[in-house]
Every structure is written in C-alpha cells, then in structure tokens.
A and B are shown apart, each in its own frame.
Chain A
Amino acid sequence: MALLEVEGLLVRFRTHDGTVYAVNGVSFQVDEGETLGLVGESGCGKSVTSLALMRLLPKPAGRVEGGHVRLDGTELLDLSEAEMRDLRGRELAMIFQDPMTSLNPVLTIQEQMVETIRAHTELTAAQATARAVELLGTVGIPRPETRLKAFPHEFSGGMRQRVMIAMALALHPRLLIADEPTTALDVTIQAQVLELLRALTAEARTAVILITHDLGVVAGMTRRINVMYAGYIVETAPTAELFAHPSHPYTVGLLHSIPRLDAPEGEPLIPIEGTPPDQRHAPVGCPFAPRCAWRLPACWTTNPPLEPLVPGTPVVLTGDRATHRVACLNLPTAEEAEAGMPLRDGFVAAPAPGSVVDELATAEVPA
C-alpha cells in the first residue's frame, strides 16, 4: 500500500463570481520515501491540491467536493478538525513559498520552534529547546544556540527557509509537502536549500511532494513527476522518462519554453500561445485544446483520461518503474516533441466548434 493515496480529488471554490473548478478529479499515489514533483503553470491547481491534502483550504470558499485522500489507509477527509490538527506537523508537514512571511515576526525562532515541538510531544521546555538547537544545527545554521534567540527579521531569506525546514521536519513527518520552497530565494541559495531538503528527507525516508513551476528544480530533486494543467494531471512519468519522452502537448510546450544551455545557438524558444483557461467555467473537452497545436475536432468535446503511453501496459502507480501515462487524443510523435510543433503534412489544429468560439468571444467583452 502506498503511503499517500489520492483518488478523484475534486476541489471547488464558491466565489461571488461563481464556482471556480480548481482541481477536477486528480488521482495519484506516493510511496514512503518517494519524491514526487507537481509541475505546472500558476493557477493549474498544484497548491490547491496540496492545501486540500493538508485540509487547509481557505474557508468557507474552498471545498473538497469529492474524492479520497488516504494517508497510510486513513481517510483524511473524514477526520475531525481536532484529529487532523494532531496529524499536521506529526504525520504530514508543509513548507511554504515565502520564508519572509511564514514565520511570526513578533516571536523568536526559539519560541516558535519549541511551540511546534511541544504541541505534539511530551518534551519539557528545556528538552524541546535542546532539540531545537540540534535541528537548527542540522539545517546548517551556524551557532544555533545564539541564533535561536533571534527574531525572524534578523535572518536572511535562505536562513529563514532553513528554519522552516527545521520546523517542518522537527517531528519526523512521513510526508512533506514543499510548495515552491525556493521560488523566493536567490539562485545560489536555492541549490543549497534544495540539497539540504533532499539530504534530510532521504535520510529519514520522508516522502516529499515538491510543487514547483521550475523544471530545473524537479529534474534534480524528484524521482517522478505529475504535470498538471487546469486542475487535471495531464501526464505522469518517472522524471528521467518524462524529460526523455515528453508526450503531452502541454509538457512538450513547457520543455520548449525554457532556454537550454545545450541547445544550438540561435534556436528560438517556443512559447505556449494563449493563457490557461478561465476555471470559472465547468470544463468541457480537453482543457488544453484552445492552446494546443495538435488538437483534433474531438479534443473540443472529449477530455481523455490518463492512459499508458504504450497501450495495454499494466499500470504501476508509484516508484521508479511507474507507468508513463498521458491524457491526450493526438499524441505528438517523438520527432514532433523534439521540434516542439506538429510536423505532419497539411495538419492544421482543429478550429473551435461554433459554440466554443461564441463563448470565448462573449467572454472577451467586458461586462
């Protein structure tokens, strides 16, 4: 049994402007000690998925409206708030994007760390302090005894993120969700923090879900990747396999929109045209169809499920041998993936059917 099993997760936001279809039936599993990357553009549902796992969606707007989240067989969505609170920090923990605002500015590091440790253990204040010193040392903060008494504003961004990592790992959680943990940091600091995160979680066999839009980060950090688009997982594969054989047009587009050092000089970047869909509309057809160069007429009306890339392969959900699965009706060939565009003679992306055109046209007109 996998450590974490997410099945058909549906998250909706009820807002004044109507319902936002944030996560639309996402299923995946994570094994103990496994590192999974969640990749996608801003607004594709990565963070919402992780907040839903932690049951930390902003209330009352955000709601899980379907699916299952099981940690070690326990259905998290059925737990009471008090039971869930007991699990947070102890069984599953989270690191947030902005270390500058994720620590309480009026409390010292010591107060915050000791509080976290004591919330879930029977340690005395002195024991918890000793443990905090040890943890700060582990995450590479020099002179931890002295620094423990400092306030967050006396730390740099990288140091603060180290403190956040120390707090998240203080109680040896089994699953750590890291939501863009290095986005707010300098590039040089990014590498240090990622390496630290990798080393600490590998040692304790903590499973990690790493959320990022930075393909470079997932390439180095994860064993397996889920590519998300508009609240769907559109492609999933072990990391090496995904980079070697990107198969969904969106993944192909993502890989072609980042500059590469080994690319021939003068090769243009190919941006993905258009913007992610307005998720205030119930999804119809493939969510990527409006931006896709490979779309067929059927793509406007049918949203294909995740299927093994090689039809008929038995599906393995986790680990390094996980099956490469993709949700697409018209897969780009290897040559097309390499070129970043359809190469078939006379192929033209299917025009939108009338109803969709009208809907897009009316959506453009300001109310």
Chain B
Amino acid sequence: MTVGAASISRPVRERASRGLWRDAGRRLLRNGPAIVGLVCILIFVVGALLAPVLSSYDPSVGKLVDRMKPPSPAHLMGTDLLGRDEFARVLYGARLSLQLGTISVVFGLFFGIVIGAAAGGLGGKVDALLMRIVDVLLAIPGILLAIGIVAWLGRGQIQIMLAVGVSYTPIFARLLRGSLLALREADFVLAGRSIGASRLRLLVRHMLPNALTPLIVQATLALATAIIDVAGLGFLGLGPGDPRVAEWGEMLTDSARFLQSAPYLIFFPAAAIVISAIGFNLVGDGLREALDPRLRR
C-alpha cells in the first residue's frame, strides 16, 4: 500500500475557534436531565405561544350548560365551575406565567446587575451602603416581600412583576458583586491595568463578561421560582385581579373546593406549574454544569 506524502506529514490540528458559548451549548445537549428540562420548557413555551391555535375555546367565556364536565374529547381537561374550557385556561395561563415570570426575572436581573456592578466595581462606601440595603432585602423572605409589595401597590400584572422582580434583585446583586470582588484580584485584570486599561473598561469589558455565567445560571433557576411565586401570589388571592384572566394560581384556588368531586380541575394547572418549574430547574442545573470553568477546556 502506498502512502501519499500528505498523509505522512503530521496532521495539523487546526480547528476554527468554537467559543465558550458553543462549547457550553454542546455540553448542555449531552446532559440527559437538561434535555428533559428543555423538553418541558419547550412544551410550556409552545403551549403559551400557540394557545389560540391549540384550542378554539375562549379561556374567559364558558357555557354554563357545560360546567364541571370531566375530561372528554371536546374538553380535553374538562370544564370549570363557569363552563370554561380547562385546556384553554391552562394554555393561556402558561402565556401569563411565561410573561410575568420572564419580565420579573429580567427586571430583577437588570437592577441586580446595576447594583452589583456599582458595588463590586466601585467598592468602598458605595459598596458598603448598597450591600447593607441588599442585606435588609435578603433578610425578608422573597414571597413575603412580594406579598408586601402587591398589598402595598394593589393587584395587577405590573405590580406582580415589580414585586417578584424586586424580591430577586438582592440575590442577583449579591451574586454579581461576589464574582466581581474575586475578579478584581484576577491576574488578567492586573495585566489589563499594566497596559493602561481604564477602570470602566476593565469593569465592563473584562470583569462583567467573566461574572456573567453564574448570573445566567441563577436567572434560569429564578425563572422556575418566579413561575411558582407568581402562581403563589395568585393562590393567595393577590393575582392579576381580573377574574377573566386565566392564572394558574387562581385556578388552583378556584378548584380547591372541588378537590373531591372534580380533581382534574386542580390536577392540570398544578401539573403545568410543576412541569414548567422542573423544566427551568433542570436546564438551570445543566447550564451550571455546562458553564462550570472547572469542566471548561
């Protein structure tokens, strides 16, 4: 067998740079539980987006004739006390949960990053003052803080987003500040200073991107808790405040008294809450593993 000159020469290991995120994405897709989580989230998001396509029923209008029907081909998940289609209500509830959960996490993330970056980047008195405020907020349990804010501002979707978002702000702020403090001592930051990079540049370009991965993981996990918190507020009677709007927590409250006669009414919204929360949790954990610097190579 003849061997060509090309195959004798040492193979040059030349691959295009894949980048941190593509590496992480690949690891995430190799992680079994994370795949399960992704599927859960996919079901949740597709259900929310395609609600009008998947169900022809109006979630806020029902026929009293059809009230309290068990699941059937016409009503996949049965109907509630007012004859509204439970399937449609779960789908539109997903819409609301996705919207409220995402916006409140983004809200919390935004203020958390601003506060954390100011504290970790500026240090000194600013840091001390901001962190004491954060400590006070952290001392109050998140859901209690959220209840307090809704009780204070009144019921409504914006109030819920504010309430849940504010209860996450201190967590994000503290996490980012911690990462930034560690990064301040990092060699590459010192190296950056030694070639004349400004403080702002070091913070924005060198430290923040390195501090982002724990925030991303935490934000994904926070989405799970946000969905539960929003439902919890609804369950406690602090939901959007509009009885026509389908909200998983309020659906639970409404059906709780029919637990024995119509268990399906409580089963489906509860299952929706659990599946979506588990989905974000699994993906969050998967992301944590995929982005772990100790596994990065």
Contacts and interface: CB of A to CB of B under 8 A. Distances in A.
Interface string B182-209: 0001111011111111100100011001
A86 B196 contact: yes
A28 interface: no
Interface in A80-130: 85-90, 93-94, 96, 98, 101-108, 115-116, 119-120
A242 B154 CA distance: 82
12 contacts: A56-B190, A56-B194, A93-B194, A101-B186, A104-B206, A105-B20, A107-B205, A107-B209, A115-B205, A143-B14, A151-B20, A164-B191
Interface string A46-86: 00000000101010000000000000000000000000011
Nearest to B185: A58
B243 interface: no
Contacts of B185: 58
Contacts of A85: 193, 196-198
A103 B193 contact: no
Contact of B210 (A106, A120, A168): A106
Looking at B17, B19, B206, B293, the one whose CB has the most chain A CB atoms below 10 A away is B17
Interface of A: 54, 56, 58, 85-90, 93-94, 96, 98, 101-108, 115-116, 119-120, 143, 146, 149-151, 153-154, 164, 167-168
B297 interface: yes
Contacts of B296: 105, 153
Contacts of B210: 104-106
Contacts of A58: 185
Contacts of B194: 54, 56, 88-89, 93-94, 96, 168
A57 to B, nearest CB: 11
Nearest to A91: B196
Given A106-B20, A107-B209, A108-B17, A96 B187 contact: yes
A284 to B, nearest CB: 33
A101 B205 CA distance: 16
B193 A88 contact: yes
Contacts of A102: 187-188, 190-191
Contacts of A149: 16-17
Given A153-B296, A154-B17, A56 B193 contact: yes
A-B pairs with the 5 shortest C-beta distances? A89-B195, A89-B196, A88-B196, A101-B187, A94-B194
Nearest to A101: B187
Contacts of A150: 17
User: What range describes how many residues of B lie at the interface?
Assistant: 20 to 34
Interface in B157-192: 185-188, 190-192
A56 to B, nearest CB: 6
B179 to A, nearest CB: 12
Given A58-B185, A96-B191, 8 more contacts: A56-B194, A88-B196, A93-B195, A102-B191, A104-B188, A106-B209, A153-B297, A168-B194
Contacts of B209: 104, 106-107
Contacts of A153: 296-297
A52 to B, nearest CB: 13
B195 A168 contact: yes
A98 B188 CA distance: 10
A90 B192 CA distance: 13
A101 B193 contact: no
Contacts of B198: 85
Contacts of B20: 105-106, 151
Contacts of B17: 108, 149-151, 154
A98 B193 contact: no
Contacts of B16: 149
Contacts of A94: 191, 194-195
A86 to B, nearest CB: 6
B188 to A, nearest CB: 5
A150 B193 CA distance: 22
A98 B187 contact: yes
Nearest to A82: B198
B24 to A, nearest CB: 11
Nearest to A116: B195
Nearest to A106: B209
Interface in B269-295: 293
A104 B183 CA distance: 10
Task: Specify which of B185, B192, B210 lies most central, judged by the most chain A CB atoms within 10 Å of its CB.
Answer: B192
A88 B16 CA distance: 33
Contacts of B193: 56, 85, 88
A171 to B, nearest CB: 8
B125 to A, nearest CB: 13
Chain B CB within 10 Å, residue with most, of A90, A119, A143: A119
A119 B197 contact: yes
Given A115-B205, A151-B20, A153-B296, A103 B191 contact: yes
B187 A119 contact: no
A105 B185 CA distance: 15
B19 A167 contact: no
A6 to B, nearest CB: 18
A58 B296 CA distance: 29
Contacts of B192: 104
Nearest to B208: A106
A108 B16 CA distance: 12
Contacts of B206: 104, 107
Contacts of A120: 196
Contacts of B196: 85-90, 116, 119-120
Nearest to A119: B196
The listed residue with most A CB atoms (<10 A of its CB), out of B16, B17, B194, B209, is B194
A196 B194 CA distance: 21
B195 A103 contact: no
A146 B17 CA distance: 9
A151 B191 contact: no
A139 to B, nearest CB: 15
Nearest to A170: B195
B183 to A, nearest CB: 10
Nearest to A164: B191
Nearest to B14: A146
